[in-house]
Every structure is written in structure tokens, then in C-alpha cells.
């Protein structure tokens, strides 16, 4: 092999290594994004229903809170997984009262409350939608990531907080979904560990956080 051929072969090897490095870096970035939670999960939230919230606690049944960012594409997977939870429970199950809390900027326009994500979330069984201007209620419950689910007993004791997807925007069975099914069927149980929430950060104004 002459020197020209050796030079061509060396260039090819370096080019191949260069592109392989780009592929690896791209894969790492995608993996980090999928398993990143945008903000710390709600681990330090109080175990009891906040006394200053304007959201009524359901009487005689469980209350489920579902915090969403109206424009977070990752949240679609969380909605689909919650639907899967209710499907697994069956028609005869005693379903919780579901409150979808959509945090929107304080000066948001009407388009924030009319997204496809909110339309899908509003179709969850036993659900009603609340537009949380400035994230006041979101701050009261200390929710930080879109897709956060909280489950409360009628007495106001929280028995679940976390997410229902295994990564950002990924549909499929998850620890959080399985835990929700088990807790709704047997609400006397308690959990020691919360599954992580994968999604975009919720809209919470600094004034809402300062009021807590």
C-alpha cells in the first residue's frame, strides 16, 4: 500500500470515529432528556391536604390531583397512562374524584386554556379542570413538574405523589401506574417511596412561591 492509500485510509478511520462520537453524544443527550425531571420532584410536600387551598377535598371518596403544563408534550404520555390506570381498575371500581390543575402564567392568553393536552386531560373519568393562574394552587401543593399525580384519602391524608411514566413522553407500564391501581383498590395502604416525575417545569410565579 502506497503512502497515498495509507493517507486515505487514515482519513476514513478518523472520519468514522468522528461520526461515531457524534452518534454516541447524541444518544447520551437524548437519554439524559428522557430521564430528566426538569425540576426536583415533590418529595418535601406536606402529607396533609393544604389548609389554604381553594380546591375542595372530595367527600367520601379519594381525590386525585393531576398537575399539568398546558404546552408540555411529555404530558400526553402521562395522560395516556392515567387512562390506562382507570381501564385497569374496571367499570365497577370506586374511582377517585380527579382534579386537573393546569398551571398557566399570570398574564396568559386564552390559548393557554385551549390546548390539546388540556382537552385530553379533561376527558379523564370523574375529572374537572382548573386553570391555575400564576400557579398559586400548584405552589400550595409544592408540585414542580408537569405530570405530577397526588392521591388523597377523604380525611386529607396523602397516600401517593409521583409520576406514571418511566421516562419523558414514554408510554407503557410504570411503577407509579401500578402503585396507583393498588392504592385506589386498597386505599388503606401507604407508600414509603415516590416514583419520579418526568416532564417540563410547571408555571409558578415567584409571588405564588413567596406566599407559601
pLDDT tens, position by position, 160-191: 999 999 876 678 788 999 999 999 999 888 77
pLDDT tens, position by position, 74-126: 899 999 999 999 999 988 889 999 999 999 998 777 788 889 999 999 999 99
Distance CA 210, CA 143 (A): 15
Name the percent of the chain in helix, strand, coil, to the closest 5.
Answer: 35, 15, 45
pTM for the complete prediction? 0.78
Strand order in the sheet with 63-68: 127-133, 97-104, 63-68, 148-152, 158-162
Q: What is the mean predicted confidence (pLDDT) over 55-81?
A: 95
Q: What percent of the chain has pLDDT over 90?
A: 55
Distance CA 118, CA 79 (A): 10
pLDDT at 207: 62
**Location of C-alpha cell 399539568:** 68
* 26's grid cell: 447524541
pLDDT at 190: 74
| Count, residues in the chain | 212
**Location of C-alpha cell 386554556:** 113
> Of 205, 202, 184, which Cα lies nearest the Cα of 64?
184
Residue 61, φ and ψ in degrees, nearest 5: -150, 165
DSSP 8-state secondary structure symbol assigned to residue 96: P
- Asked if 149 and 121 touch (Cβ cutoff 8 Å), the reply is no
> Of 171, 70, 66, 65, which Cα lies nearest the Cα of 118?
70
Amino acid at each position: 500500500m502506497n503512502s497515498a492509500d495509507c493517507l486515505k485510509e487514515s482519513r476514513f478511520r478518523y472520519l468514522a470515529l468522528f461520526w461515531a462520537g457524534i452518534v454516541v453524544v447524541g444518544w447520551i443527550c437524548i437519554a439524559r432528556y428522557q430521564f430528566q425531571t426538569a425540576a426536583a420532584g415533590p418529595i418535601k410536600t406536606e402529607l396533609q391536604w393544604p389548609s389554604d387551598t381553594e380546591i375542595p377535598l372530595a367527600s367520601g371518596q379519594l381525590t386525585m390531583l393531576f398537575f399539568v403544563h398546558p404546552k408540555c408534550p411529555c404530558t400526553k404520555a402521562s395522560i395516556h397512562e392515567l387512562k390506562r390506570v382507570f381501564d385497569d381498575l374496571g367499570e365497577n371500581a370506586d374511582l377517585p374524584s380527579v382534579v386537573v390543575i393546569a398551571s398557566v402564567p399570570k398574564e396568559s392568553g386564552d390559548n393557554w386554556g385551549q390546548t390539546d393536552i388540556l382537552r385530553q386531560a379533561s376527558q379523564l373519568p370523574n375529572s374537572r379542570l382548573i386553570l391555575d393562574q400564576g400557579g398559586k394552587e400548584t405552589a400550595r401543593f409544592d408540585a414542580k413538574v408537569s405530570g405530577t399525580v397526588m392521591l388523597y384519602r377523604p380525611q386529607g391524608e396523602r397516600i401517593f405523589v409521583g409520576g406514571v411514566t418511566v421516562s419523558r413522553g414514554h408510554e407503557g407500564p410504570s411503577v407509579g401506574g401500578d402503585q396507583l391501581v393498588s392504592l385506589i383498590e386498597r386505599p388503606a395502604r401507604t407508600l414509603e417511596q415516590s416514583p419520579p416525575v418526568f416532564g417540563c417545569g410547571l408555571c409558578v410565579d415567584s409571588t405564588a412561591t413567596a406566599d407559601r
